[in-house]
Amino acid sequence: MPAYKASIRDIQFVLHEMLEIEQHYARLPGGEGLGRETIDAMISEVARFMERVVAPLNRSGDEEGCHWSPEGVRTPAGFKEAYDQYYESGFGSIATDEAYGGQGLPPSLRTVLSEMVGAANSSFSMYPGLTAGAIAAIQDHGSEEQKQAYLPKMNEGVWSGTMCLTESHCGTDLGLLRTKAEPLGDGSYAITGEKIFISAGEHDLTENIIHLVLARLPDAPAGTKGISLFIVPKLAIDEQGNVGDNNGVQCASLEHKMGIKASATCVMAFENARGVLLGEPNKGLRAMFTMMNHARLATGMQGMALGVLSFQGALEYAKERLQMRSLTGPKAPDKPADPIIVHPDVRRMLLTQKVIAEGSRAMAGYCSMISDLALRLPETEEGKHAEAQLELLTPICKAFMTDLGSEACNLGVQVFGGHGYIREQGMEQMIRDGRVLQIYEGANGIQALDLLGRKVLADGGARLKGFIGRIEALCEEHRGDEELKEFIEPLERLHPEWVGLVSEIMERALQNPDEAGAASYDFLSYSGYVSFAYFFAWSAAVAKRKLREGSDEAAFYEAKLLTARFYVRRILPRTRALVETMRSSASDLMDLDAEHFSF
Ligand SMILES: Cc1cc2nc3c(=O)[nH]c(=O)nc-3n(C[C@H](O)[C@H](O)[C@H](O)COP(=O)(O)OP(=O)(O)OC[C@H]3O[C@@H](n4cnc5c(N)ncnc54)[C@H](O)[C@@H]3O)c2cc1C
């Protein structure tokens, strides 16, 4: 397993130089007074902790896995100590409400932490990640009494959280769920049903586990309109907040899975477990969406994080591994062969990993900045505009960044050759750990439908045009700058094409709804590549300005320009194939009868 080293300089580039985060914080409730020194000190502290405490448990956690017994689930050695330190350091409550034990800092600071914890140890990141999502849902939809009862202990890390949606017969289609909630007459409910695939459903890290469970009330309408959300603690909690006996919540077994083996993925049985309603009856999905949107951005970041770790491992290896000579003559004549980084095809792989890491980091940074605005200034025009952009970018972030993260991890194995395929080097673990990111939190195909259907076609492209406004502003600012032309011109061509594709798909979908389904995945990928082109053009503009100002970090900024150039010339052309496939008819997919797929 490569030793994780946080990408501090590049994180600072995105935060300080692209996003100008200090100015953003200066006008954000909770961000006042956060100067560069404080931000950088926090980044360094988080980096140190992740590198020294969390990353060393990545390989051992994968090998040991979690263990089930009737008494509960044991996480791998070292997890409990690291988890306690994580919360003692305040990492679990950075951006949560101060009134309930949080620190009230801007949510975007959590993004930096998400990248680092995800790269250091994907399995470990699940436990605080689920708790953060549950906190967000209770914060947004809970009564004052519920917030007082649950949030302080969750912020402290003494209690953790889960989200319990999936049942064996219902994953994507939550309208099918069967778990029941019977009123007990005292304002609480008896929850009965079985949930599968529940991350952090049972473990030995905390005193109690607060499950957020989707269930149906007795007279609930069928489908998604009849789903309510309940807070169901594992151990009963009395009025003073003390935990007592088991509340009818059992982990029936652990799922045996391909990766994230140190994350306990549980089958959970609820047997007349006492719970309370969170939010309104039959509006559970709305409340759960707070948690899911939080989790979707976090999942995109996990994809980026694994890509970063894989890139770090591959880069180090490519500088050391000696095989063959460079096509243009020996580069290390004193050695028996050249390091493989001299070969163009190895560079193709490394640079692809690099643009995936840096493009994703910029996109995640931008999304976290607009989520600050949407969450902290919701009533302002700026906050509403940010919310609309976030709705558009969330499915792209989730699906595109996990697809590319998976591509990066595959390339990482390829750079190592056969040594990547065997377990010893740890490169294959990243493929296994990362594969689920394309599946959970709404499979990527569902993200594509969400993007095209709900976020683009449903509002006639209004949200998309909002984001394109940002792209146009960047183009406007740098139009005529010969040195930035190679980055700005493609954007000037692509953003009208993006809008045009929406009109084309809309027209075809009006005749045949399958046309939208057939175009959706290509549309999402296209949207991802164009968004990345915007972030690379933005980073190139910053780098060029720094070079013109005579920065003493010329090599860093030159590398930024060359990386952006690689993206525009070698990755962005993937949009051409996507346009062709998007324009092709749905009949290519639908004409073959299901029974004739195979003979
Ligand atoms: C490791 C792990 C951890 C998980 N953690 C949690 C958790 O903490 N809590 C929780 O509630 N769940 C959790 N899940 C469940 C996860 O969210 C689901 O697996 C996921 O939502 C997909 O549901 P499914 O597996 O039933 O697949 P299905 O819904 O059966 O889908 C199968 C395939 O069909 C596609 N598909 C389905 N419907 C459509 C459609 N209309 N159009 C196009 N394509 C479609 C899907 O994209 C997918 O590719 C976890 C799963 C795993 C593997």
Question: Domain limits of the chain?
Answer: 56-89+121-282, 287-441, 451-590
- Is 481 in a helix, a strand, or coil? coil
Predicted local confidence at residue 73, as pLDDT: 98
Q: Is the CB of 529 under 6 A from ligand 1?
A: no
Predicted local confidence at residue 293, as pLDDT: 79
If pLDDT is split at 50, 70 and 90, which confidence band does 345 have? very high
If pLDDT is split at 50, 70 and 90, which confidence band does 286 have? confident
Closest atom of ligand 1 to 199 CA is 8
If pLDDT is split at 50, 70 and 90, which confidence band does 394 have? very high
Q: Is the CB of 443 under 6 A from ligand 1?
A: yes
% pLDDT > 70, the chain: 100
Closest residue CA from atom 20 of ligand 1 = 440
If pLDDT is split at 50, 70 and 90, which confidence band does 290 have? confident
Predicted local confidence at residue 361, as pLDDT: 98
Predicted local confidence at residue 594, as pLDDT: 96
Does the pLDDT value for residue 256 go beyond 80?
yes
Closest residue CA from atom 27 of ligand 1 = 171
If pLDDT is split at 50, 70 and 90, which confidence band does 294 have? confident
Look up the CATH number of domain 56-89+121-282: 2.40.110.20
Which stretch of 40-54, 217-231, 290-304 has the lowest confidence by average pLDDT? 290-304
Average pLDDT for the chain: 96
Burial (CB < 10 A; 0-12, 13-18, 19+), residue 243, is: middle
Predicted local confidence at residue 168, as pLDDT: 97
Burial (CB < 10 A; 0-12, 13-18, 19+), residue 90, is: middle
- Annotated catalytic, 145? no
Could you tell which of 195, 213, 270, 440 is best to mutate to test the pocket of ligand 1, judged by most ligand atoms within 8 Å of the CB? 440
Q: Could you tell me which of 514, 493, 492, 505 has the C-alpha nearest to residue 456?
A: 505
- Dihedral (CA of 526, 532, 535, 540) sign: negative
Q: Is the CB of 302 under 6 A from ligand 1?
A: no
**Average pLDDT of the residues in 367-388:** 94
If pLDDT is split at 50, 70 and 90, which confidence band does 395 have? very high
- Dihedral (CA of 82, 87, 91, 93) sign: positive
Does the pLDDT value for residue 295 go beyond 90?
no
Q: What is the pLDDT of residues 134-155, one digit of tens each?
A: 999 999 999 999 999 999 999 9
Packing angle of the helix pair 514-548, 574-583 (nearest 10 deg) = 160
Packing angle of the helix pair 122-141, 79-88 (nearest 10 deg) = 40
Q: What is the pLDDT of residues 139-195, one digit of tens each?
A: 999 999 999 999 999 999 999 999 999 999 999 999 999 999 999 999 999 999 999
Q: 173 CA distance to ligand 1 centroid (A)?
A: 9
CA distance 585 to 147: 51
**Average pLDDT of the residues in 208-227:** 96
Does the pLDDT value for residue 292 go beyond 90?
no
Closest residue CA from atom 6 of ligand 1 = 198
- Domain covering 287-441, topology: Butyryl-CoA Dehydrogenase, subunit A; domain 3 (1.20.140)
pTM of the model: 0.97
Q: Which of 115, 441, 497, 553 is catalytic?
A: 441
